[in-house]
Structure 1
């Protein structure tokens, strides 16, 4: 029996790496979209995942997407590709719209044009940033699949378009399109531009005497933080379900950046992190989301999904990774 084939956009990102690993372990033949002939991340992907078939394509170039889908003939597509950093989206809103919003439309159209729309299952990576953190969530229960959206960044707005166009293709063309509204999920593969990895990388460097501080923006925002490995398992489960639907993946609890700092510095024996943290107004966003709390009850009930790594375990995992990464030779 031939293996199932999966095509992943955004394979060079955090979730792409975790998902590639998961699918390979399940016996899939994995194809990944990579942008540009000289993509700086190509070597890293090939080194870590030598079994992946890389296809050069770009979410802003529909012709390349049609070719990629035709080459891969995927049973499943995971659309993880996006301009995924909220702060960056304020500085480059048009690029964010072109890649994150219109790119999803281009990929959906590529599936339809190649005639695979009734044979390929499509996962759309939606985000909790679509909710915006205003007072529309039910007190104490968090945002769920029926909560109102009010995005507070160009990234959130672009993702909301992608979310709705994905649902539109499901309803208009009968495509198997599942959307995962994922709350913040982190891990050792997280990019250094994200606050969690910025903190754990700095903690490790401070421990080994390579740095004496970390510079951050606001410290009060609270997020529903989980482990990326748990969340990509949920993505896969959505495409194995008998019908396409929308699912929130979250932990159901929030923690502030200050709490993250406390645990991270605690891993290297520092109880008071304040002397090691500087704040810079330039790192503050024009519109901040104070709190994001998700309600994963539907995914837990329907899919049987459950997160395995708790908040303390997530922070420890990330700090341990960065301590090993920066350790002097022989340590």
Structure 2
């Protein structure tokens, strides 16, 4: 089915882009909650699912609010105030959600196969329960997304910068027509096809917010809550290469500066890993790995993220650049 939304010149002038951590939370959890493995994200899902199971996040508040398919609660995706909001800012907006909006979302969610008890508690006392929801989102972020965020954010920012340049060169209409096969723009009308639920212009405020997503593929997802602008979360460019191993051919040059052991650990961190895993793969002792990781973290080359009783270490974009051959 096709839906047509009429936009004014003022709406088009207010079109903007934003990278939203919460859209990545919602869409990534939805993929993990689906019945089939995500074809583009299998490598990531294989690493993340065991952590979520150990933490019990497969049966918590997010499992109740984010199904493998169907309607998504709009209050989980507040309108970003700027182009690159931090997760903390979006969690604060979720905590401020009005009880009326939360209950309206819950009324839309199909109760089948959902933990009705949790949703009932949220309906009865949104203010108190939203604190628990936000805490669980933070826990999910640390386990599933934070160790990978530099890589994901780089992809999303590259999409925004590419499309912003396209707007400057060809105009907003061109960018909207290139956004996704189910979206088109013509003479002030935005057309969307193959949506699961109805969408009208009266449901949205002025402007249009375009949100690239690493996990929304293969569809475009929307948020339409007046007086906020319509949000379109669309698959970012280059998703197919997101989880490919990154080149580390410059290790000899880096080893001359950092030393062999630290360079080896950076190369091993193509995917996030714990101290124990790195010790097993590198042949170094756990104590030596810990010492090297501390030095690398102090230098801004790795980050640490709490995952239950262990810490997952990940390479930063600076380290990626060091390990990438020049020319």
TM range (shorter): under 0.3
Give 1 or 2 for the bigger CA radius of gyration: 2
TM-score, scaled relative to structure 1:
0.25
Q: Which has the higher contact order (CA 8 A, sep 6+)?
A: 2
